Structure 1
Amino acid sequence: MGVLEQMRDAEIAALDLLSGAPPQILDHLVRAAALMTGAKAARINVLDSYAQHAIADSTGAVGRDDLEASLCARVLRRPERQQLVPDAKLDPRFSDSVFVSSGAITTYAAAQLVTSNGIAIGTLCIFDPQPVDVSQAMMDGLEQLGEAAVQAMEARRSHDQMGQLLQQLAGGSKELRRSNEHLAAFAGQVSHDVQGPLAAVLMSLQLLEEEVGAAEEPGAAFVEPETVSMLMGTAMAGAQRMRATVAGLMDFAVVGGRLEVAELDTATLVEDVLVDLAARRGRTEVVVEDLPPLHGDGVQVRAVLQNLLANAMKYAVTSQPVVRVSGRVVDGVTRISVADNGPGVPLAQRAKVFELMVRGDGVAQTGVEGLGIGLATCRRVVESHGGRLGVDEAPGGGADFWFELPVPVL
């Protein structure tokens, strides 16, 4: 067994693709691939040192095949991420496969599944016993669906690793055991802060599933590659932000608050957060004024903005909800404000709402669900930067949540 095969086996084992149930989203992705190309079937194969394992198939034909007959195994030996074979019987690289000689496969196309570690673990492929006209746009769409499949596999691994880390921390030294409350807050924070990017991923995949369902109706057209590209681009961007958020927060907890401080484009951070919160935004009008740059850890500051904007959208009045984001630099600090036109926070509650698991009396009357984790998260992050945060009454009523971070002295 060569080094590459050993690395592939280790990566497949780490992703738990063979012993456990694969992510359900893989079934949707192979159906989309088949409908997009018009092929009879699409499949996700992972290949260890012993066999080819079909873990998702548009026709339901999952199982194990011999490596020698595998067309996907031959694709993994090549450097190209994409492989299109219009007629496998005429291609000497594939013609001796029993799948080809038996007539089961004429047209074959595949995109390699490459993990973030750079290891090709398998393919997302389509095949048909009849000739199929597969365009380059379809091949690009196939590659994007394959990237989405890898994102789904790795997201599950990140979730599992996070759980293991939290267990290790909980059972660690006496000092950590005395910090159970903070550890519980961190666990809740991770779950809370990935909801925005996760919502963007789920919304895009739900739209894709609707497209797939419509294309399965009698007489319906194929799913357009451009539609697949757009939806998968949004989903993958959200998944990447979710991975970055989880990784950053885990590192923040483990090393005791080490921050990677840099100058941040606040407007871009707000724009990204609004994309992730699109599913929650509803009819809320969000006004973003010119924003000065911030100096801080990008992942951590983004989490603060996400929490404040999500809260503002939840509590803005239902008839004509408006949220306004503004900022200014005064006396060596950058102040960012997120104001809504909701019920506001009573003066007596304005300090307590930043405590863990505490919600203001006013918001409790709105019926809006919440755990009181987000604002406690914001306080911990802002204070770790040497800043401060608070809440005032917004002009015209509502809450004006703000935070300040120091501007470095050059």
Structure 2
Amino acid sequence: MGVAERMRDAEIAALDLVDNHPPGVLDHLVRTAALVTGAAGARINVLTSSAQHTIADSNGAVGRSDIEASLCARVIGTSPTGRHVVPDATVDPRLRDSEWVTSGAVTTYASTELVSSHGVAVGTLCIFAPQPVEVAESTMLALQELGAAAMEALETHRRDVDMQRLLSELAGGSRELRRSNEHLAAFAGQVSHDVQGPLAAVQMSLQLLEEEVATDGEPVQDPDAVAMLMRRAMSGAQRMRATVAGLMDFAVLGGRLEVARLDTGVLVEEVLQDLSARRGRTEVVVEDLPPVHGDGVQVRAVLQNLLANAMKYAVAERPVVRVSGRTVDGVTRVSITDNGPGVPVAQRSRVFDLMVRGDGVSQTGVEGLGIGLATCRRVVESHGGRIGVGEAPGGGADFWFELPDQTDQADQPGAVA
């Protein structure tokens, strides 16, 4: 076994792909790849030294197969660009004796390598067809973008597995940490909760992309729309990866924060994009927002939770959510209001406790676990700020949080155990 194969085996083991369920978003990616390129099929193959592991297939044919017959294993590492195009595999000396080619299942083959953040090619996203077809440069660019999105999903999967392992080790490490199981379980719930928005954005973009290109073999009707949806999916995947990585650092460092001056308007715009699948008919009014000082990943998690909460409880007939902010005496307050049922005065201090939901909202029939607001309080207090809820003008809830403009909280422990 060569050095490249040893490195690939180690990286695949770290990504925890072979014996566990891969991210479900990969199924959308391979179906989209097949539709965008017009290929008969598309696959994501992970290549260990002993086998090819198909972890996603546009036709559902996942599983382990012989590495000797693998087309992907024969081309990986042979191109400096990581892209491979074989218009006719029957005459290509690398591929022509593979059973996939000799059986007539594959004539045209193209792939892009999936390269990890450590620079190791762990596999490929490939397309194939039983007959000769032209693979245009635009097709390869689309395949390359989808391959990059797939790798983002796999890296996020790696960090999620690492987080669960870390939490397990912390929970069993000592009597004191075992007593903090409740906090650790809450933090695990926070990780899952906070990646749902970006994940929903990725899945929705890929579903729309599938619809856009599913034209029964006809040329794509709107290439600009396809490109836009691919960019949106990639952006969501990258934010999902950043969220998980940031929360891992937050736990490992005992709550240290990377404090910087943040453009609140940009953060809100990103969160609204991630929540677009949940937004529905809700009108969201965003006023000019002052900057805040805080950890970018953590503050975005607060905004995501509060905005998602407001969208859930806004009045169904004409749901309206408003985001506003102001700075007074060195403290910036950001308010998110809705026109829903509001929170009774007696419940306003308790709704930020873990697993608690206000009486007013519990009667709406909207599902929830009571994790998001508890998360928001932990994050805001770790920044030296405050969070609360009041009544919005005209009725509804006014959730707000305050952060000091100048802070040295980066060296202080946060509220997550």
- TM-score, length-scaled by structure 2: 0.87
Shift of 1:28: 4.2
Partner Cα distance (1:333, 1:400) in 2: 18
Identity of matched residues, %: 72
CA contact (8 A) 1:349 1:360 kept: yes
User: Which range moved further: 261-270 or 227-236?
Assistant: 227-236
Q: Which residue of 1 aligns with 2:137?
A: 136
- Say which of 386, 389, 393 aligns to 1:388: 386
Instruction: Answer yes or no: is 1:349 the counterpart of 2:323.
Output: no
- Provide the secondary structure at the position in 1 that maps to 2:388: strand
Q: In the aligned structure 2, how far is the partner of 1:340 from the partner of 1:58?
A: 42
Contiguous gaps of at least 5 residues in structure 1: none
Q: Report the CA distance between 1:223 and its aligned residue.
A: 5.6
Equivalent residue for 1:198? 199
Show the counterpart of 2:35.
Answer: 35
Match of 1:328 in 2: 326
Match of 1:241 among 239, 242, 267: 239
- Partner secondary structure for residue 308 of structure 1: helix
Shift of 1:101: 6.7
Inter-partner Cα distance in structure 1 for 2:160 and 2:307: 25
Worse-matched range after superposition: 248-257 or 267-276: 248-257
3-state DSSP class of the match of 1:305? Answer: helix
Would you say the 8 A contact 1:52–1:70 is kept in 2? no
Pick from 249, 253, 257 the counterpart of residue 259 of structure 1. Answer: 257
The separation in 2 between residues aligned to 1:370 and 1:58, in whole angstroms, is: 34
Cα deviation digits, residues 13-38 of structure 1 (max 9, x gap): 23343334544544443343333323
Equivalences for residues 394-409 of structure 1 within 5 A: 394-408=392-406
In the TM superposition, residue 244 of structure 1 has moved relative to its aligned partner by 1.6
Aligned residues of 2:293 and 2:407 also touching (Cα < 8 A): no
Deviates more, 1:144-153 or 1:87-96: 87-96
Shift of 1:252: 1.8
With 284-293 and 202-211 compared, the bigger mean Cα shift is at 202-211
Matched position secondary structure for 1:42: strand
Aligned to 1:11: 11
Does the CA-based 8 Å contact 2:42-2:57 persist in structure 1?
yes
Structure 1 distance, partners of 2:314, 2:61, is 50
Q: What SS does the corresponding residue of 1:76 show, helix, strand or coil?
A: coil
Q: How far did 1:77 drift?
A: 2.7
- Taking structure 1 as reference, are residues 23 and 179 closer, same or farther at Cα in structure 2, changes over 3 Å only? closer
Normalised by the size of structure 1, how large is the TM-score? 0.89
Paired residues in the alignment total 406
Question: Judging changes above 3 Å, is the alpha-carbon distance between structure 1 residues 202 and 179 closer, same or farther for their aligned structure 2 residues?
Answer: same
Report the counterpart of residue 169 of structure 1 in structure 2.
170
Deviation at 1:98, TM superposition (A): 6.5
Q: For the Cα contact (< 8 Å) 1:266–1:294, is it kept in 2? A: yes
What is the CA-CA distance between 1:115 and the residue it aligns to? 1.9
Gaps of 5+ in 2: 409-417
Identify the residue that residue 337 of structure 1 maps to in structure 2.
Answer: 335
CA contact (8 A) 2:325 2:332 kept: yes
Q: Deviations over 1:72-131 (max 9, x none)?
A: 432423221222233345556656766557765443211111122221112122233432
- The match for 2:218 is 221
CA RMSD after TM alignment:
2.7
Tell me the alpha carbon deviations over residues 140-165 of structure 1, each in whole angstroms, 9 at most, x when there is no partner.
Answer: 11112222332333333333322222
Deviates more, 1:7-16 or 1:103-112: 103-112
Secondary structure at 2:268 match in 1: helix
In the other structure, the counterpart of 1:145 is: 146
Change beyond 3 A, Cα 1:353–1:10: same
Give distance in 2, aligned partners of 1:24 and 1:390: 36
Name 2:156's counterpart in structure 1.
155
